[in-house]
Structure 1
Amino acid sequence: METKPKVNTSGRYKLKYRGVACLNCKHPLDMSDKYCPNCAQANSTKKLSLKDFFDEFFSNVLSYDSKLLKTLGALLLRPGKITRDYIEGKRVSYTNPFRFLLSLSIVYFLLMGLSGDFSQIDKFADTTGNEILNFEADDVIQNLDFEEKKEAESFLNTIDSLKLGEFISNQQRKKDSMILAHPKKELEAVSDKGFIARYFEKQKIFTLLIENDTIYVFDDLVEKYNIENSREHRMSFSGAKSLIKAKSRPGEYISSLISKLPFTTFFFLPVFAIFVWLMYIRKKYTYTDHLIFSFHNQSLLFILLIISYLIDNIFGIESGGIFFLIFGIYLYKAMRNYYQQGRFKTIVKYLFLNTIFIILAIVGVAILFTTSIFTF
C-alpha cells in the first residue's frame, strides 16, 4: 500500500517521478520519500531539464542567503552566542564556520588586491642586479648624529680620502669575477656549511650566473659548467630566479603575496586554538569547540575590515582604528558570553591570547613572505 507524500511537491519532485530505490546509492525508498535518507539525494527519476536546473540553482542560492543573513545577524548582535548554538547542535540555520571564514577572507584580500595599484612600486625595482655603493654627503650628514656640522664634514672628508666605496666595489667585482670564472669550484667550497647557510650561498652564486651569464634553465647550467644535477642545486637555482623576478617586479610580487594571505589565516588559527584550549582546559570544551569559536571571531574581524575598507574608500577617511577598537570590545564580550567566566579571569586570558594571536600572525606572514619570494 502506497503512503501519501507528507508535503506538496511540484516539478521533478512530483509523485509520478518518485522511484523505489535511490539512483545514487541504491538505498530502498518509499514513494513518500522526497530525499534519500542515506545520501540526501532527491528522489526523482525525471531527466534534468534546463528549467529544473535553474530552479534548483536559485533555490539553493536563496537558502544560502537565508543562512547567511541569520549567521551575520547572530555574529554581529550576539557575541559568543552563535558558537554556543553551533556546538550545541543548532547548525541548520547557520553557515559552516570554516566556509564562512574562507569566503570572507577571500573577499577582503581580493578587494585589497584589486584596489591596490602595486605596479607603481615597480619603478623602485632593481633592474641592474648590482648593488651600487655610493656615499652622498648630504645623506650621510642627515643620518649622522654629530653635534657640530664641521665634525660631520671632517668625517666625510676622511671617508672620501680612503676611497672606501671604490675599494669595496672593486673587491666585490673581483669576487664576482672568481665566481663567474669557476662556479663549480665556488659551489664545492660552500658544501661543508650547514644546509641553510649552504642554500643561501649557492643561491647567491646562481643569482650572479643568471644575471651575468644569461643562464635561464638549470639544465643549461649543468651542461655548461658540469655542475652536479642535485635537488639542492635545483632548489637554490629556483630560489635565485624567483628572487631576481621579485626584485625586478616588486609590484607583481606583492599582488601575488596578498592573494595568498587568506590561506595564512588557516595556518595559524588551528595553532591558536591550541592556546585557547590550554587557557580553558578545565572547561568541558573540545579542541574543535575552541576552533569554531576562533573561526567565528576571525569572521567578525574580516567583516569589520571589509566595512572599514569600504568606508575609507567611499568617504576618504581612516576608520581602521575605530573598527579594531570595536573588535577588541566584541572579542571580550564573546569570551565572557561563551566561556561564562568572571571579568578578571577573562581580562587576563584576553590579554594573553591576543598577544599569542599577534605573534602567530607575524610568524605566519613571515613564513608566507619567505616561501613566496622563493617560489614566485
Structure 2
Amino acid sequence: MSEISESLAEAGQGALAGTAAERHAGSHGDGHTHESHCLNCGTALIGSHCHACGQAAHVHRTLGAFFHDLLHGVFHFEGKIWRTLPLLVWRPGRLTREYVDGKRASYVSPIALFLFFVFLMFAVFHATESHDESAGGDRVIQINSSLESVEEDLDRLKSERAEAVAKGAPTAKLDADIKDKEEALETLHDFENSGVKETLGATGARSDIPQVDKALKTFRENPDLAVYKLQTYAYKFSWALIPISVPFLWLLFPFSRRFHLYDHTVFVTYSLSFMTLLIIAAMLAGAFGAGWVWMALIFVPPIHMFRQLRETYRVSRFGALWRTWTLLWFAGAALLIFFILIMAQTGG
C-alpha cells in the first residue's frame, strides 16, 4: 500500500512540476521538460537526478509516462523485480549479503517484496478457493449456530418455499437460502460425527494469559469460525512474522560480532518472501489440477534455507546444515506464536 501512496504522490508532484515548468523552461513537443534547476527544491542540476533531493531532472508530461510511473511505483518495474526474483529463488544468500553490504539500487527492498507477495498470496487464495459467493459471511454465522437452530431455519425456509410455489411467486432467493442452510447443516453434522469437538473439549487446554485462553476457547467451541478469522486477520498481521522470527535466527549466532540484528532482519524478510512465493505457486498449481505439487514443494524450504544461510553468513557446509535443521524447528515455533497471536486478537 505504501507504493500505491507513493505513486499517487508522484502524480501530484508531477502536476505541480508541470506548473513550475511553464514558469521556467517550458516543455518541448516530446512531452519532456529540460531544466537547469530542480523543479522540486531549486538546486542547480548536475546530472540526471538532483543531488539534493533525488528528484529526476526531467519531468515527463505524457500519458504514457504517467502509466509508466504507475507501473514503476506499484510493481517496481524497470528491471528491479527481474533482477531480484532470480536471486531470491536460486541465490538467496547472495541477494541477502549484497543488500546488507549496501548494494541496493539493483534490488527490490526486502520489506517491499514481502508485503507485495503477501498481498498477492491472499489475492490468489481468494481467487482460487472454491466457495459460493452468495453465501459470504452468513455461512460463518450459520456454522457458529447450533445444529438445532439450523434445522429449524431449514424447515421454516422449506415451508416458505412451499407457500411461494402455491402462490406462483418466485423462489430463487429461497432456493439459495435453502442451499446455504443445507450445506451448513452438512458441515455441522460432519463436525459432530468427526469427534473433534469431543477431543477439544476433553483436553480442556487453558492458558494463564487471558487473551490466549480466550483464543483457545474460541477454537474449541468453533474451529470453522476460528479458521475463517485466521484467514481474515493473517493478512493484516503478516508483518508480525518478521519480529517474531528474528530472535530465533539470532540464537543461531549468539553474541556474534560479525552479524547484527539488521543482518538477521534482512535474512528473515527475504526468506519469508520466498516462502510466500512458494505458497502462491502451490495454490496456482492446485487450481490447475496439479495438487501433487504441494508434496514436491515440501522439500524446497530446507534447501532454500541451507543455501541462504551458507552464502549470507559464509559458514561451512556442516555449519549451514545444523543451522538449517534448527531453523526448521524455529520456523515452526514462530508460526505457532503467530497463530496464537492472531487467535488471541480475534478470540471471543
Corresponding residue for 2:117? 104
Q: 2:288 aligns with which of 314, 319, 324?
A: 314
Contact preservation (8 Å) 2:302, 2:328: no
Corresponding residue for 1:178? none
Corresponding residue for 1:269? 242
Cα distance in structure 1, aligned partners of 2:303 and 2:235 = 24
Cα distance in structure 1, aligned partners of 2:321 and 2:59 = 59
Corresponding residue for 2:39? 23
Cα distance in structure 2, aligned partners of 1:45 and 1:81 = 35
Corresponding residue for 2:66? 53
Answering whether residue 12 of structure 2 is matched by residue 39 of structure 1, we say no
Counterpart of 2:109, as a letter, is N
Answering whether residue 143 of structure 2 is matched by residue 125 of structure 1, we say yes
Unaligned runs of 5+ in 2: 1-27, 150-191, 196-207
Corresponding residue for 2:92? 79
Deviations 1:43-102 (A, max 9, x none): 3588x4545533544566786252111111111221311111111222111111111011
Counterpart of 1:18, as a letter, is E
Q: 1:116 aligns with which of 129, 147, 159?
A: 129
Deviations 1:135-157 (A, max 9, x none): xxxxx9x98xxxxxxxxxxxxxx
Contact preservation (8 Å) 1:81, 1:334: yes
Contact preservation (8 Å) 2:240, 2:338: yes
RMSD of equivalent CA atoms:
3.9
Deviations 1:264-300 (A, max 9, x none): 4321322321232232232512211111111111111
Unaligned runs of 5+ in 1: 1-8, 132-139, 144-193, 201-238
Cα distance in structure 2, aligned partners of 1:59 and 1:302 = 22
Alpha carbons of structure 1 residues 23 and 361: separation in structure 2 relative to 1, 3 Å = same
Alpha carbons of structure 1 residues 118 and 363: separation in structure 2 relative to 1, 3 Å = farther
Contact preservation (8 Å) 2:76, 2:108: no
Corresponding residue for 1:354? 328
Contact preservation (8 Å) 2:118, 2:235: yes
Counterpart of 2:40, as a letter, is N
SS in 1 for 2:269: helix
Deviations 1:138-182 (A, max 9, x none): xx9x98xxxxxxxxxxxxxxxxxxxxxxxxxxxxxxxxxxxxxxx
Cα distance in structure 2, aligned partners of 1:123 and 1:271 = 32
Alpha carbons of structure 1 residues 101 and 34: separation in structure 2 relative to 1, 3 Å = same
Cα distance in structure 1, aligned partners of 2:146 and 2:39 = 65
SS in 2 for 1:111: helix
Counterpart of 1:288, as a letter, is Y
Count, aligned residues? 256
Cα distance in structure 2, aligned partners of 1:126 and 1:62 = 40
Alpha carbons of structure 1 residues 109 and 35: separation in structure 2 relative to 1, 3 Å = same
SS in 2 for 1:41: coil
Alpha carbons of structure 1 residues 60 and 126: separation in structure 2 relative to 1, 3 Å = closer
Cα distance in structure 1, aligned partners of 2:39 and 2:57 = 8
Question: Which has the higher mean CA deviation after the structures are superposed, 319-328 or 61-70?
Answer: 61-70
Larger Rg: 1
Contact preservation (8 Å) 2:124, 2:284: no
Tell me the percent identity: 19
Alpha carbons of structure 1 residues 196 and 339: separation in structure 2 relative to 1, 3 Å = closer
SS in 1 for 2:233: helix
- 1:1-376 → structure 2 map (5 Å cutoff): 11-14=30-33, 17-20=34-37, 22-26=38-42, 28-30=43-45, 32-44=46-58, 48=61, 50=63, 52-57=65-70, 64=77, 66-117=79-130, 122=140, 125-127=143-145, 196=210, 254-280=227-253, 281-282=255-256, 284-374=258-348
Cα distance in structure 1, aligned partners of 2:314 and 2:59 = 52
Counterpart of 2:341, as a letter, is I
SS in 2 for 1:80: helix
TM-score by length of 2: 0.61
TM-superposed CA distance for 1:130, in Å, is 8.8
Contact preservation (8 Å) 2:71, 2:77: no
Cα distance in structure 1, aligned partners of 2:322 and 2:68 = 53
Cα distance in structure 2, aligned partners of 1:348 and 1:74 = 23
Counterpart of 2:276, as a letter, is F
Counterpart of 1:96, as a letter, is S
Corresponding residue for 1:188? none
Corresponding residue for 2:180? none
Counterpart of 2:118, as a letter, is S
Cα distance in structure 2, aligned partners of 1:79 and 1:90 = 14
Alpha carbons of structure 1 residues 103 and 313: separation in structure 2 relative to 1, 3 Å = same
Alpha carbons of structure 1 residues 265 and 196: separation in structure 2 relative to 1, 3 Å = closer
